[in-house]
Amino acid sequence: MTSPVITPLGYAAGASVAGADLRRPLEEDAMKTITSAWHKHLMLVFPDQRLSPKELIDFTSQFGQVERNDNVPYYRHPEHPEVLLISNKTTNGKPSQTRNTGRNWHADLTYTDRPAKGSVLMCQEKPEVGGDTMFANLYMAYETLSPTIRKFIDTLEAVHDITLIKGFSRRDPEQIKEMTRLNPPIAHPVVPVHPETGKKLLFISERIRNFVGMTEEESKPLLDFLNGHATSPEFVYRHRWSVNDVIMWDNRATLHIALPDFDQSQSRHMLRCSLLGEHSGYVIDNETSEISMKSALAAIS
C-alpha cells in the first residue's frame, strides 16, 4: 500500500491527508506518517471518508483509548457511547442540546481531570455555506510571548469550569445540574510540556474562570490578553467543511471554535470521538481557587 500524502493547508495548523482509507486498519508506515503529521500540523483533514459510527471508533482507537463521554452523558450516539452527536437537528420534536456546541475557544474536556489527547470529527451534513471550525496553534501562542510574561505564567495553574461553555445556562436544567455535579472546577497547568513533542505551550481557554491563587478580578485582564493572543489570526487555521471530511486534532496543543456562521434552518450534523488524555488536573474548591477580596484586604491592612 502507498504511504499517505500530507499537504499543508495553513502555516499555523492544518494538513490534508490523501491516500488513506480510514475504514481499514492503518499499516505501520501509514500510522507513523499520520502520527508525525498530526504532531507537526496539529490538525489533519481526511477528505471523502464514509465511516459508520463503529468505523469512526475503530479508526480513533488506533491512536489511544477512546473516551466514553461519561462526563457529558446526554449527547451520545444511542448505540455507541464513544460517539458524541454534535447536531442542530431536531430529535423527538426537541431542538438538539448540542446545536450550539463549541461556540467559544476551547480544547475538549478540559473540565475533566483528563482533557482529551485528541478528537476526531466527521461531517455527515453541512449547511450550504459556513458552519466552519477554526483551530489555533498553542505552541506559537507560547513562543511569541515576551520572556517576562512567560516566566510569570510558567508556574500558574488555571481553573477550568464547565459552566463557562458558551450557552451552557440555556441547556436543559436537569442536565445542567448533573453535568455540573459530574464536573467540578478543575485546575490544569497553564504551560504544560507536550508529552510527545517535549515543547511548552500555552494551555489557555475561554472556559477558564481564574488562575489558582488569584481572584477573578485579578485573573480577567491576563485571561483576556492570553485568550486574545492565542487566537490571533496568524496562529489560526479555518476549516471549511465538505461532507465526509474526517478531521483529527491534537487537543493538547490547539484550541478550536465552531462558528455559528450559517443559516440555522439548514442541518449541520457531526460525529465526534475523543481520545482519553493523561491525568493533568485536580479538583479545586472555591476556598483554594480564589484569594477572596476579604483575605486580600486583611493581608494589606
Closest to 114 in 3D by CA, of 246, 299, 283: 283
Measured CA to CA in angstroms, residue 158 lies from 182, 207, 232 at distances of: 19, 10, 21
Question: Shortest distance, CB of residue 56 to ligand SIN, whole angstroms?
Answer: 14
Q: Is 108 in the active site?
A: yes
Examine residue 101 and tell whether it contacts ligand SIN (CB under 6 A).
yes
* Cα angle for residues 294, 299, 301 (degrees, 5° grid): 90
Measured CA to CA in angstroms, residue 161 lies from 6, 185, 226 at distances of: 36, 5, 17
Examine residue 108 and tell whether it contacts ligand SIN (CB under 6 A).
yes
Q: Is 106 in the active site?
A: yes
| Catalytic entry in 80, 239, 252, 256 | 256
Question: Shortest distance, CB of residue 79 to ligand SIN, whole angstroms?
Answer: 21
Binding mask 123-162 for ligand SIN (x = CB under 6 A): ----------x-----------------------------
Q: 146 vs 169, which CB is nearer to ligand SIN?
A: 169
Q: Is 263 in the active site?
A: no
- Exactly one of 102, 115, 118, 281 binds ligand SIN (CB under 6 A); that residue is 102
Torsion sign over Cα 219, 220, 225, 230: positive
Spatial contact of 170 and 294, defined as CB atoms under 8 Å apart: no
CA–CA separation, 117 and 192 (whole Å): 13
Number of residues that bind ligand SIN (CB under 6 A): 11
Question: Shortest distance, CB of residue 288 to ligand SIN, whole angstroms?
Answer: 29
Examine residue 270 and tell whether it contacts ligand SIN (CB under 6 A).
yes
Q: Is 41 in the active site?
A: no
DSSP class of 136: E
- Exactly one of 86, 136, 190, 255 binds ligand SIN (CB under 6 A); that residue is 86
Examine residue 272 and tell whether it contacts ligand SIN (CB under 6 A).
yes
DSSP class of 164: G
Examine residue 258 and tell whether it contacts ligand SIN (CB under 6 A).
yes
End-to-end CA distance of the chain: 73
Three-class secondary structure assignment of 236-300: EEEECCCCCCEEEEECCCEEEEECCCCCCCCCCEEEEEEECCCCCCEECCHHHHCCCHHHHHHHH
Stretch of residues binding ligand SIN (CB under 6 A), selected from 16-24, 43-51, 100-108, 213-221: 100-108
Q: Active-site positions?
A: 106, 108, 256, 272
Q: Which residues in this chain contact ligand SIN in the complex, by CB under 6 A?
A: 86, 101-102, 108, 119, 121, 133, 256, 258, 270, 272
